[in-house]
Structure 1
């Protein structure tokens, strides 16, 4: 029986229009509903019946993109760095574009024959640096589609081609020609090498920044997964056996040593300790546990040895559920994003038509090919809606990722969008609002010297790592008390710490 839900990793998307085409191809399959997120490069697919992953991948391939089923194990892998080829193209583009712009826009820098140097420098920019745009535009053209890459590729190609023509066949190539910058109107014998170079380089720079932002946001999900234990100590016939955490079954008994991560959800059978659940529940202070207490996988055993009977393992644990919530939130689309995607889908062909009409209109009224071309290219370049298609999904991706990193689990992007209407926030526990670092604010010593009480408590507490014990020891040091640790210090889960001070039994903890 094939699964009724599948997540696909997508390849080759460059804009929101691409996401719309893939989504359309997937939803065309009877009984399938799909959501494609451009920012996460992922398709989330559901069906009431069986899902044929081969058919899904074939549908994506037919519209010119790549797809593969996501392996859950991939989520544990660190995010790959930004492509070295992309980084190299950006560096070369910037290195060549800056002098191209300076020579083209500042008349004082223009030496005899400068335009030939500019043309030569612009050639690798509009070919090699801009190749990702040309490649995507050609691929989409073969499938009868236009995307934002089509605008960039067309604008860059037309501007460069016209400039080459003007350089060889008009007065623009004359040695000694100057090309001053005109704020209004159009200069005679204008060349557009700098426009082609600037658009190629800076749109590609935007892609580079986008890739880094995606990587950073996805790392938050990886960090959430890293909370889970990778290994467990299984109790088999009284023997302790180390096994991968994924091998533990419901009903198995596992041993969790002090300082170790609890590998499964379960109930304590033996042992007393304190559990640091801050990474899962947000509770800043350790919680005392004893036989019968429920524990959650991903929390940390801060005290003694525990024996836990597993009640939920693997994808059924609470931590796995929280992780799925973040994944679904990042893969989903908010209502505003669906609106943006709809606009982007019709925007590209509309801009191409408007650019052609604008160029023809100026050529008809002025008779100047230079002016008509400048207007058409400007329309193509300025109207490129990259920000329109990227801003919304990227904001939602970063928002959900940042929330996960800060311990805030967002159930869906629609929830994130609706937060603008919030005027009151109610918290169910004070621990959510603390930094998790207690400090001493007052000391009451009945019938004893305050400094003596603080020193005695600090000497006992210095032998344990409990947050309250650390706070007492830190307070003692802050008021100038030099102290050494006591002897035979032992933590008593749920009660405090006991030990010997100069041979005298001393207890620091709750009055119970």
Structure 2
């Protein structure tokens, strides 16, 4: 078996995707077929009996074109090229549309008439002028007719089919009116609908352009993965170092990697000891110590020591390249949601056609007057014009996306808004998602006469020359405590162990347990104080031959993490924690924050496999921020990434939370529910007008008065009214507000005076609608975008109380 990728041209919607996949699967030797509309690519898994020519032939007969990928252009470059072509088409269409609208509607708003195109004095010129300006727009938008009718003939009419039929109905009625004018009936000069066809087509082109622009941006961000690899590497030939390009690296080459360099490719350390920042891969903020014989991964960062590494994988075989490939595959395997409007239109279009033709034949035979018959035929098609049906979903999605942006949420597609509220399981990455993603001092333990501040001051002073992440966390804690650091002499750094230095002629040792043992420091008393499995890293501090204290560092929970998890549990949404950290730590942290299930020691593909399992029983949302989450984000029904994360995680997610908090997740779920309700309301109104208008267009009014038929002008007005109602309903989403109320539990309140202190503290932050329940300790207030949860907690702490969930 082997996997092959092809470019597919001519696809515009989910129906096209389905047609290509079905055709590919019918080809001999094709075992699996997945199509991505976003990238316009087909991925097939084939066996020995596969014939490429047969696949190409079958896809061509279906109405599309398959070809081998153009390797000279990247996917982003291809999409950028397409974007430019689409923009050129829009500009060209507007060149004809603007004068068309001036001619057809200028008199309605009292603009001066062009003498030789005057509707009353030169009606034929008026009609011909509109025809001449409409035809170029239709030619520019020919693909909508090509795809629309192709799908009709294939038995799968889609939105393109509705647009094609609606605009052609308006156009051909305009042609009919022009003929009537030429024959002397100038009243038809007021019954032209050429501009309707041109406006609809241009608006559709603009919508497609915006959709393509979003897709192109996503693809461009995804390709940034490759930029993680350095362009060059230092090759060691046994005597000298030679700078070579990434493409020149070969398996078994020995490469030099200096402190601060990015690992060029996958390999094994052959000489040296160092600390590697693998956050790109594992998502964990604590660097990993590496020595001879241990594996290093391309794209990770060498922090402390110089190493010689032997190359084990290059090119497409590296871990980083595999992640890129898997992200792409996961994107293609994600089944597109069949839009409700597309499903309905599959039945709606043929039914309208049958009704219109039946009306034409009935009135032609019954009245013997073709004018009446064509009037009925056109009225049915015009009143059933798919404008409202076509606007039902996109207007709601566009308005909701704008509201989401105001609330700090970027939506990549309409599918995201449809799926979010259905999530029954939310899987969280740990580091940088529910935690802050940076180390901080969590505990200072003294074992002699030193106070905690004195010990922190001592260790921070000793660590001044170091650039290790733990040292930086200690220095930051000392700075926040306004501690003055002492002068350090005879500093020495011992890789993988710790440091030795002097302050005021006293020797001190700071490092791990092994470093203490090497310097014959007596240990034992600290064991009862060390809390294992809590995600803390302990730094031992010794003077001469005795241990004087311990300092622990950890990655703390985000300020609003406890509240968000609690709310999700109240909504009966199952929560799961996925992390590359050890199982003990992940289990402890999940229990502390209230997450139901926890899985640790996971690699990116492990997260993906777990998401696949969850999908069997749940609608799964994955929330993450790192490259290590990219595959899982794509595998989930909905991937939510954080703006504080990597560009690749952001591009892999269907939704990006722009604020550094998780409260936006609750806003997303709430907005999703409201959006889906709005879309269904829009579809109802669209069909209500059609179901009311079609019988009238068929001649229902003749029951009440003979010869009373619906004028196509009124039909067009009713069609417009349906569109207006849909748009106005969608605009209600502009008033959407996110989680307006925040609730926290304050510990230590016991009386009315306590209540007043808490209220005054929150009023000082200009928060409104503050409510305090002394019995439960629950304090609620209206969310203010300018006031973070951390600011609220600090204000309550200063008032003498504590917020539950904070140490």
TM range (shorter): 0.7 to 0.9
Aligned to 1:35: 34
CA distance in 1, matches of 2:384, 2:309: 67
Question: Tell me, what secondary structure is at the counterpart of 1:292?
Answer: coil
Write out aligned runs for 1:101-116 (5 A): 104=105, 107=108, 109=110, 113=118
Distance 1:300 1:124, change over 3 A: farther
Q: Which structure carries more relative contact order (alpha carbon 8 Å, separation 6+)?
A: 1
CA distance in 2, matches of 1:85, 1:73: 19
Task: Note if 1:158 corresponds to 2:157.
Answer: no
Q: Structure 1 length normalisation: TM-score? A: 0.73
Q: Is the CA contact (8 Å cut-off) linking 2:34 and 2:43 kept in structure 1?
A: yes
CA distance in 2, matches of 1:483, 1:104: 78
Aligned to 1:180: none
Q: Which structure 2 residue ranges, 5 or more long, are not aligned?
A: 398-409, 512-538, 542-807
Equivalent residue for 1:474, pick from 460, 473, 476: 476
Per mean C-alpha deviation after superposition, the further-off stretch among 92-101 and 59-68 is 92-101
Task: Note if 1:137 corresponds to 2:134.
Answer: no
Aligned to 2:217: 216
Partner deviation per Cα, 1:22-52 (whole Å, 9 max, x = no partner): 3344334312242222222110112121555
CA distance in 1, matches of 2:100, 2:209: 21
CA distance in 2, matches of 1:479, 1:256: 37
Aligned to 1:447: 449
CA distance in 1, matches of 2:353, 2:266: 64
Aligned to 1:402: none
- The structural deviation recorded for 1:4 is 2.3
Write out aligned runs for 1:153-302 (5 A): 153-166=164-177, 169-170=180-181, 189-302=190-303
Distance 1:166 1:188, change over 3 A: closer
- The structural deviation recorded for 1:242 is 3.1
Q: Structure 2 length normalisation: TM-score? A: 0.49
Distance 1:57 1:424, change over 3 A: closer
Partner deviation per Cα, 1:119-166 (whole Å, 9 max, x = no partner): 789668744444454145347868965765444234323313423543
Q: Which structure 1 residue ranges, 5 or more long, are not aligned?
A: 178-186, 393-404, 406-412
Alpha-carbon RMSD: 4.8
Aligned to 2:378: 373
CA distance in 1, matches of 2:387, 2:101: 17
CA distance in 2, matches of 1:468, 1:35: 46
Question: Tell me, what secondary structure is at the counterpart of 1:40?
Answer: coil
Task: Note if 1:511 corresponds to 2:540.
Answer: yes
Partner deviation per Cα, 1:72-117 (whole Å, 9 max, x = no partner): 7866866753622322433565687689779759955577647989
Aligned to 1:66: 65
Larger Rg: 2
Distance 1:374 1:248, change over 3 A: same
CA distance in 2, matches of 1:120, 1:472: 80
Q: Is the CA contact (8 Å cut-off) linking 1:499 and 1:505 kept in structure 2?
A: yes
Distance 1:295 1:151, change over 3 A: same
Q: Is the CA contact (8 Å cut-off) linking 2:276 and 2:290 kept in structure 1?
A: yes
Q: Is the CA contact (8 Å cut-off) linking 1:270 and 1:291 kept in structure 2?
A: yes
Aligned to 2:15: 17
CA distance in 2, matches of 1:506, 1:268: 31
Q: Is the CA contact (8 Å cut-off) linking 2:93 and 2:140 kept in structure 1?
A: no
CA distance in 2, matches of 1:425, 1:255: 39
